[in-house]
Every structure is written in structure tokens, then in C-alpha cells.
Amino acid sequence: MSVLPDPVAREIAALLDRAGRVLFITGAGISADSGLPTYRGLGGLYENEVTAEGIAIEEALSGEMLRRRPEITWKYMAQIEENCRHAGPNAAHRLIAQWERELPYVMVLTQNVDGLHRAAGSENVVEIHGDLHRLSCLSCGFRERVRDLAGRALPPACPRCGKTMRPEVVLFGEMLPEAELGRLLTALETGFDLVFSIGTTSVFPYIAQPVLRAARAGVPTVEINPGRTCLSERVAYQIPMGAAAALVAIEGQRTEG
């Protein structure tokens, strides 16, 4: 399915315009139109099960590996960053940012570490897995935001104390950030009038549960994903398309309406 039927787009557009509070849950698929990969790994990275070191990518990108052998973790984090380096927001990111300005309340819950929602102008973003462009020192706590890692030694050294920096992302085996999780839970307690799941397989409970919670409460739910997921049978609208094309079609019906 490459075209969203006008009646479906019109129904969702009407729901969007009537909604006081909207939640967009996004995964690697929303960044596909920006040229970023959607395959496995942290935020969508590797399709091979074993790295060059003979270990699983989940082990390479784990908090334990960062502590023991930071050069391995940073080798693969740098590959993720390089993939993100020349990518910019696409129409899906920009439309969500636009709707945040136009609607009473919009929150984005994203698994992505690419920073593209904020680059598009979204402000109310829960980056549940962090942002690859924020670094912090494992020793003194110094923090900095970097545009990219080009020309930087790996692992990066702290400008203040010279010790190893880490990316402010949730590595495998680590806890979710309390502050971001708290923001999400507070918003969920208040409730939403419309919930979108976009470009995510929803394998993590904290990604799937907001959609399931809304569906149980009779809140309209929309899944936009080329493939089917564990949520596909539970949502009110399942749209087997890429994110940008689907959201552009919905916005087109808002404009015409």
C-alpha cells in the first residue's frame, strides 16, 4: 500500500484537529526518509548478529562493555553517529513539529538517538534512549553537546579532566533515564486524545504500553509502519506506509478540510 486512501486520511485528520492532547511515539522508521537505516541495533543499526570482535552488537553496545573496553563501544557508537551525521529532518519530523505549534498539546516519545525531532523544531520531546550528540564524562561529570565526532579521538577524552567521555544514550543493560521516564508517566496520567505509533516495531513494553493503554480506554490509535507489529491488531488505524508519505497525506486532508 503506497497511497493512503482519502477517506482514511480525512478521518485521521479530523481526529487530529479535534484532539486536545496528541502523543507521537516514533522509532527508527520515521528517520528512514532521512536516509538512516532501520535495521537492528541501538536505534536501528546492525543486521549482522556478530561484530568483527566476535560478539553480539548488544554486547558491544552495552554499559558493561563501555566500562570494561570503551574503545569497542565507541567504535560502534561512532558508526551510528557517522550514519546520522549528514541526515536532516524529513517531512514526517517537520509535520510533527508543525502540529506541536498548531495544536493545544503534542508530545513526542522517541526511541531514536539521532536528534532529528529537535532539529525539526519539536520541543516537547521525550528522548527515552537519549541523544548521541550529548556526551558526559565518566569521571568528573563534565557535559557537552557536539555536532559530530569528526576528527575526534575515540574514545573521546574529557576536555576538563582527560578521562573517558560517554554518549548520553541508554546502552544495553542500562536503566531508562528517570527524568524522561517521569515526564512520560506524568503525561500518560493526564491522558491523550489521540496516539500515533510511527516507524517502530514496539518490542519494548514502554513503547507499546501507551498505545495499548489508549486503545483500552477507547482513545483513537494510529499505527504507521510498512510491516505489521504486535500492535497492528489492536489499533484503530493500521497504515502500512512510510512515515513521511502517510503524514503528508493526513496533513493534505487537514489543508483541504
Task: Write phi, then psi, for 97 (nearest 5 degrees).
Answer: -65, -40
Tell me which of 93, 117, 129, 133 is the catalytic residue: 129
Q: Are 51 and 80 in contact (CB under 8 A)?
A: no
Q: Where are the beta strands (DSSP E) in 100-187?
A: 105-110, 125-127, 130-137, 143-145, 165-169
Q: If DSSP codes are grouped into helix, strand and coil, which group holds residue 196?
A: strand
Q: Where are the beta strands (DSSP E) in the chain?
A: 21-26, 105-110, 125-127, 130-137, 143-145, 165-169, 194-198, 221-224, 237-239
Cis bond leading into 159, ω under 30°?
no
Look at the alpha carbons of 49, 50, 51, 52 in this order and tell me if their dihedral is positive or negative.
negative
Pairwise CA distance, residues 24 & 164, whole Å: 35
Pairwise CA distance, residues 34 & 139, whole Å: 35
129 noted as active-site residue: yes
Catalytic machinery residues: 129
